[in-house]
């Protein structure tokens, strides 16, 4: 689970989302949903994130906003 979390720490910081043992699974589910990938398919989720949300600064800000909205 959440094999890509270490790569998007800056996104979590921008979204003001602190990853804790209590919320990690919920955040992971939210990110899978945002990516449109079945839950627990970490490699496919990471691939989709890289393609659609991590290409440039604007996309990264968009992802941060979506994560913030999804986990609040």
Q: What digits encode the pLDDT tens for the residues 9-51? A: 999 999 999 999 999 999 999 999 999 999 999 999 999 999 9
CB 48 within 8 A of CB 37: yes
Give the pLDDT band of residue 53 (cuts 50, 70, 90): very high
Mean pLDDT, range 54-59, rounded to an integer: 95
CA distance 46 to 29: 13
pLDDT at residue 54 in the model: 94
CA distance 67 to 15: 7
DSSP run (H or E) holding 21:
none
Mean pLDDT, range 51-65, rounded to an integer: 95
- What does pTM read for this prediction? 0.90
């Amino acid at each position: 689970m959440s094999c890509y979390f270490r790569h998007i720490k800056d996104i979590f910081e921008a979204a003001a989302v602190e990853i804790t043992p209590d919320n990690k699974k919920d955040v992971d589910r939210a990110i899978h949903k945002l990516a449109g990938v079945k839950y627990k398919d970490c490699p496919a989720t990471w691939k989709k994130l890289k393609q659609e949300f991590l290409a440039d600064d604007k996309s990264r800000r968009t992802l941060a906003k979506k994560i913030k909205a999804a986990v609040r």
